[in-house]
Amino acid sequence: MTIQIKIQPEPFDAGERQRQLLRSRTDTGAVVSFTGLVRDFNERPEVQALSLEHFPGMTETALRQIAEEARQRWALQAVTIIHRIGRLAPGDGIVLVQVASAHRRAAFEACDFIMDILKTRAPFWKKEHTSSGDYWVSERQSDHEDAGRWEYR
């Protein structure tokens, strides 16, 4: 299985990434592509921008391990995870997860799994810049409940 992990400040192009994912293979029956975006409201309204910090060195390993876990659970052909860092504006893509498989069920579930585990295990932190000041985004209980669905460790 091909695993592609990227942590980058630059924007990503989901269409282009998907073409790369599928290049030179004809055995793929399904691709699920998830893009997470910056919302202009969160814990406070009027989010003007978002700064994403990560833990260089650990982040890539953590994402790769999540992709590996997905591969052990489902029959996958390729996984791409791209996570942006730095300053992002509302509407910008933050994260891209693409999963290719022979059949749709595996692709849907693996993509869902990767996002759930990423939200609770990958060392990224968001700071939101709003009209009423900057603050670090706090964790959500619902994210832990979502991750708990997979009985992950």
Partner 1 sequence: MTLTHLNARGEAHMVDVADKAESRREARARGTVRMLPATLALLVEGGLPKGDVLATARIAGIQAAKRTHELIPLCHALALSKVTVEFEIDVDDSCVHVESSCRLNGRTGVEMEALTAVSVACLTLYDMCKAVDKGMTIDDVRLEAKSGGRSGDWRREVDARPAGMIASHAPAEGELNDGAEPAGRQTIANADGSPVGEDMSRAIDEPRGKAGGDCEGVITVRFLAELRERLGCETLTLPLGDLGTRDVAGVKRALAAADARFEVLDGKRVLVAHNQVMAGEGTAVNAADEIAFFPPVTGG
The residues binding partner 1 (CB under 8 A) are 7, 9, 36, 49, 51-58, 61-62, 83, 85-87, 94-95, 115, 118-127, 132, 136-139
Residues 124 and 59: beta-carbon distance below 8 Å? yes
Shortest gap between Cβ of 150 and partner 1 (angstroms)? Answer: 15
Report, in Å, the least distance between residue 86 CB and partner 1.
4
Instruction: Quote the least distance from Cβ 112 to partner 1, whole Å.
Output: 12
Which amino acid makes up residue 50? Answer: L
Nearer of residues 77 and 98 to partner 1, judged by Cβ: 98
Residue 95 or 107 with smaller CB distance to partner 1: 95
- Min CB(143)–partner 1 separation in Å: 8
Distances (CA, A) of 96 to 45, 46, 83, 118, 130: 25, 24, 6, 11, 24
At 79, is the secondary structure helix, strand, or coil?
strand
Residue 92 gets the label, from left (phi > 0), alpha (psi -120 to 50) or beta, of beta
**Beta-ladder partners of 54:** 124
For partner 1, the closer of residues 21 and 128 by Cβ is 128
